[in-house]
Structure 1
Amino acid sequence: MRLDAAFGVVTDLRLGFVGGLWPTIIAIWHVSYLLFQPLEISRIFIADEAGRAVKKGLITPHAYGVVLDLGAGHGHTVNYLDHSRVTKYVAVEPNVHMHAKLRRTASAAGYNEDNGTLLILPCGAENISTTLSYLPAPHPPVDTLISVLTLCSIPSPQSTISSLAAEVLKPGGQILFYEHVLSEREDTSLWGIDVGGWVQGEGGIWGKEGEAGEHLFWHRVGRLVKA
């Protein structure tokens, strides 16, 4: 194991606390019940602008049609969409207290509820039947499904993403993801976070540039196309 990568956890944690701790404290201050909702706190903490270059390279050239954004948070993903190729932005965000800012962010990017180009769903990614009930026929209705640092806060992530691909994603549609995964190295298993191993399927999958497998927050980036 490379020592610089092994101790890179210190840098990762510092960036995480700087970028996520203060917004999380503010959210809890305004909505105290969040103290009893650990999954909601997790979603708020990781909903930041980290990995901008990775997201731009993954989302901007590939996202098209009806886009479903899992764990949309404050709508950071919408800033990476090419408006000429994306006809509708569907934001799945169960925390209704984030919807006002999410709506403003989407509006600034040209997506609005008034003209049908924006839909905000107050449910979790695992609530697939609820998601489908909000989307017009024919089903499946989604061209692009995006998951950015979200699966670690979703119950049963492997079954959830499989069900979303089967029931929500059109044939020929795609999943774009940027996620924390378990390190493949045996000597770094204690640093890993297992999110179900779903990213080990077929398709284009790659790592974050310059990031070794020893890192605590090891990532995988990819684009999977549904047959």
Structure 2
Amino acid sequence: MVSPSKALDIFRRLIGPFHLLLVSLSFLPGTIISLLHPLQLRTLLSPRRLQSAWFARFWSRVGTDIRTNLRPRVGPLIAQAHGVVLDIGPGSGEWLSCFDKSKVERIYGVEPNVGCHGKLREKVKEAGLEGVYVVVPVGVEEIGKWIKKGGEGKSGLGKGDVDSVVTVFCLCSVSQPKRMIGELCGYLKDGGNWIVFEHVVTKEKGFIAWYQAFVDLFWPHFIGGCSITRDTVRWLKEAGSWSKVDLVQPEDEPPYQIIPHIMGVLTK
């Protein structure tokens, strides 16, 4: 028989995703109002641009609390980044303070959501990474084009020239994730490491898998295009010939975790 404490924990984890969706929804009216003054019709009339602005507003507030809760896990991972780094989808820069400044030479923050750039640049200053951290305002598939056009910090960012790739809560929201993972793997040099902390599809079958898929019908629309049912672990393992794969699910996540995570490092 399930104990009352376990039953309560199961209920909390089942209802938790929908609570976060409601929190996200509460930021939509404020986003619309902020776009009305001054009038930004291009964003207001584009569902994709509106969603980006909405998520940027939501994440700039909520991201701080999430960083505080997860820093004991994510911080030590990011601190392993070294040399030339690709920081994919940094958002508003919640994790920038986790980089070890003594290990990194140059960090390229690949963030196409311009709504996040203001906060991101503020975090660059707060983390003492000015002159080291470069905001790349395009998606992964456009990094090469941006470099050729003479983007800031264009030197030293070619295929096979990157020492570390960092993906924290971004592979769940990019379009064509499997293709992007392959693209990023190409930038990583032999001996380089890929640091990961991501949402992934549950390993469970039956009700938990069904319920996760049900939540995912709504989740991407409220959380910036994020999907919680991607088989990211398999795609990462298949992307290259890794000399070492050290990926685990956090120990305190039970089998009935609706939004499970994977964390660790792959070494090329």
User: Shorter-normalised TM-score: what interval?
Assistant: 0.7 to 0.9
Answer whether contact 2:248 2:262 (CA < 8 A) is retained. Answer: yes
CA gap 1:8/1:92 in 2 versus in 1, 3 angstroms: same
Distance in 1 (CA, whole Å) between partners of 2:108 and 2:266 is 19
Deviation at 1:215? 1.4
Distance in 2 (CA, whole Å) between partners of 1:30 and 1:58 is 36
* Structure 1 unaligned blocks of 5 or more: none
**Of the candidates 11, 24, 44, which is equivalent to residue 16 of structure 2?**
11
Answer whether contact 1:66 1:87 (CA < 8 A) is retained. Answer: yes
**Of the candidates 193, 201, 220, which is equivalent to residue 174 of structure 1?**
193
Deviation at 1:145? 0.9
Answer whether contact 1:24 1:41 (CA < 8 A) is retained. Answer: no
Q: Scaled by the length of structure 1, what TM-score is found? A: 0.82
Give 3-state SS (helix, strand or coil) of 2:195's partner: strand
* Structure 2 unaligned blocks of 5 or more: 214-227
Alignment correspondent of 1:154: 174
CA gap 1:9/1:206 in 2 versus in 1, 3 angstroms: same
CA gap 1:163/1:83 in 2 versus in 1, 3 angstroms: same
2:206 is equivalent to residue 194 of structure 1? no
Alignment correspondent of 2:48: 37
Answer whether contact 1:125 1:154 (CA < 8 A) is retained. Answer: no
Give 3-state SS (helix, strand or coil) of 1:55's partner: helix
Answer whether contact 2:164 2:188 (CA < 8 A) is retained. Answer: yes
Answer whether contact 1:207 1:221 (CA < 8 A) is retained. Answer: yes
1:104-123 correspondence runs (5 A)? 104-112=122-130, 115=131, 117-123=132-138
2:163 is equivalent to residue 143 of structure 1? yes
Larger radius of gyration: 2
Deviation at 1:15? 5.1
Q: Summarize deviations over 1:78-119 as a string: whole Å, max 9, x none.
A: 11111111222211111223212211111111111xx3x121
Alignment correspondent of 2:220: none
Distance in 1 (CA, whole Å) between partners of 2:198 and 2:100 is 22
Runs of 4+ that moved beyond 4 A: 15-18, 20-28
CA gap 1:6/1:124 in 2 versus in 1, 3 angstroms: farther
Answer whether contact 2:169 2:198 (CA < 8 A) is retained. Answer: yes
Alignment correspondent of 1:84: 102
User: Aligned-residue CA RMSD in angstroms?
Assistant: 2.8
Deviation at 1:74? 1.0
Distance in 1 (CA, whole Å) between partners of 2:174 and 2:193 is 20
